[in-house]
Amino acid sequence: MFPRLLFQSFSRQRRRKLLAGLAVMLGTAIVTAMIAVQVDIGDKVNRELRSLGANILVTPAEDTLDVEIGGVNLKPASEGAFLAESELPKLKQIFWAHNIVGFSPMLNAEAAIAGLHERVPVIGTYFAKELQTKYGPVVTGVRTTHPWWKVQGEWPGDERREILLGERLAKKLGRNGPGYTYFNNRETKIAGILSTGGPEDDAVIVPLAMAQELIGRPGAVRRLYVSALTKPEDAFARRDPKSMSPEMLERWSCTPYANSIAYQIAEAIPNVNAEQIRQVAQNEGALLSKISGLMLLVTLGALLAAVLAVSAAMATTLFERRREIGLMKSLGAGSGSVATLFLSEAAVLGVAGGLLGFGVGAVMAKRIGMAIFQSEVPFQPILMPYVFLLALGVTLAGSAGSIRRAMKIDPAVVLRGDAA
């Protein structure tokens, strides 16, 4: 008898039940999409933020040492110490080697160039240099770590005597494209004109080996920029590793914070100071926080809309079926039986809407990933039971008011035709 009543309820009110089910489906679809994106958004935003450049800076440890006696700083007035270029492949041997997207060494110098009386600043670096590491070759350089560098012409080869002219320097020299010039009293090819919006626009950018030759220091590196995939900084990330217990230090080291990766770099390469470039890490955390807050608001709005839609549909259903409910009660059905009937209807709507909503939400998540991050959001089967529970919660919350009113219906009043 009960299944028959349930079936007739859906067959006689197909349009109203369809609208309620559609509301549940849309609500759960949005929730599924938002949760799926939220689970995966950390890595995707992290990859997008790598377009902002390196997030870890490595410098010689001596640069951070200040020697003062009687308030007088006795640190030598020089260019400072240097890193050893031969140590750089060790970056791809640390625990978080796969998180290191790329790195680019920098070395400053000065040289003469035809067309100017004064010497010009020179920056030596890797462009896209292949290095041999313990685990095979890797290609790295500013083309990876400094993606905002734009070149009109071609990138120089790391093994060739070719240079880039900064945009502002090129204008001083009357250059507007590739060609040849005398650089450091030798004919040199200008591969292209570099535009960065920074101090590089006033400099000559050369392969690292050329800058080492200019200052007479083979294998020297002044500073190293590292671009790594990291977890957004939180309070635990900012803890001092020296104050941690061995268990806490292990957990900290096994989390890809910029600080923990920098800590491992400092352990792998002797006599260096590695630290995160805080502006990039802080921007990442702030951006993720804002995106998460926005997604939470969208999710709550979708759920509220679904609850209101179900509530309106169930209230209309109750109004149309009040005589039926009165007849059921007059024939001996208790308030519990009436509540069970409405709860069962809500459960069917929740399961059906949740199932369809989960499928639609998974498709939406993939589309969102492709539209914003150009990569799919992976399917998360583990979300299915949670989405079903959420769909049931939405239908039950929307039906609660109608069920309470149905339990209070007086059969004598309804069957007599008076207002219920």
- pLDDT digits over 235-250, tens only? 788 888 888 898 998 9
Report how far residue 300's alpha carbon sits from residue 280's, in angstroms, rounded to the nearest whole number: 30
| 8 Å CB contact between 204 and 122 | yes
- In this predicted structure, the answer to whether residue 64 has a pLDDT above a threshold of 70 is no
Higher-pLDDT residue of 159, 230: 159
| pLDDT, averaged across the chain | 80
pLDDT band at 324 (very low <50, low <70, confident <90, very high): low
Residues 33 and 60 in one domain: no
292, part of any domain: yes
Report how far residue 170's alpha carbon sits from residue 280's, in angstroms, rounded to the nearest whole number: 30
279, part of any domain: no
- In this predicted structure, the answer to whether residue 144 has a pLDDT above a threshold of 60 is yes
How confident is the model at residue 410, as a pLDDT? 63
Residues 295 and 411 in one domain: yes
Strands 220-221 and 83-84: antiparallel
- Name beta bridge partners: 242: none
Residues 162 and 199 in one domain: yes
Residues 100 and 67 in one domain: yes
Q: Tens digits of per-residue pLDDT, 170-181?
A: 999 999 899 999
Measured in degrees and rounded to the nearest 5, phi and psi for residue 262 equal: -60, -40
Residues 147 and 111 in one domain: yes
Q: Of 231, 253, 270, which closes a domain?
A: 231
Q: Of 199, 231, 263, which closes a domain?
A: 231
Q: Tens digits of per-residue pLDDT, 299-321?
A: 888 878 888 877 777 777 766 66
3-state helix vs strand vs coil in the chain, percent to 5: 55, 20, 25
- Which of the 8 DSSP states describes residue 55? -
| Greatest Cα pair distance in the chain | 110
Residues 340 and 297 in one domain: yes
Place of tokens 């978080």: 96
262, part of any domain: no
Q: Which helix (H) or strand (E) covers residue 228, if one does? A: strand 223-228
- Among 10-14, 55-59, 337-341, top mean pLDDT goes to 55-59
**End-to-end CA separation in angstroms for the chain:** 26
| 8 Å CB contact between 319 and 15 | no
| 8 Å CB contact between 194 and 153 | no
The alpha carbon dihedral of 225, 229, 231, 236 has a sign of negative
The count of other CB atoms within 10 Å of the CB of residue 272 is 23
Measured in degrees and rounded to the nearest 5, phi and psi for residue 177 equal: 180, -175
Q: Which helix (H) or strand (E) covers residue 113, if one does? A: none
Higher-pLDDT residue of 129, 229: 129
| 8 Å CB contact between 84 and 241 | no
pTM value?
Answer: 0.61
250, part of any domain: no
- In this predicted structure, the answer to whether residue 394 has a pLDDT above a threshold of 70 is yes
> What is the domain extent for residue 130?
56-231
- In this predicted structure, the answer to whether residue 204 has a pLDDT above a threshold of 60 is yes
Residues 175 and 206 in one domain: yes
Residues 29 and 87 in one domain: no
Q: How many domains does the chain fold into?
A: 2
- Name beta bridge partners: 104: 225
Residue type, 9: S
Q: Of 197, 231, 265, which closes a domain?
A: 231
Helices 14-49/2-12 angle, 10° precision:
80
Residues 290 and 185 in one domain: no
- In this predicted structure, the answer to whether residue 46 has a pLDDT above a threshold of 60 is no
Q: CA of 93: how far to CAs of 90, 97, 99, in Å? A: 5, 6, 11
397, part of any domain: yes
277, part of any domain: no
Residues 67 and 105 in one domain: yes
How large a percentage of the chain has pLDDT more than 90?
A: 35
376, part of any domain: yes
Residues 22 and 104 in one domain: no
Residue type, 177: G
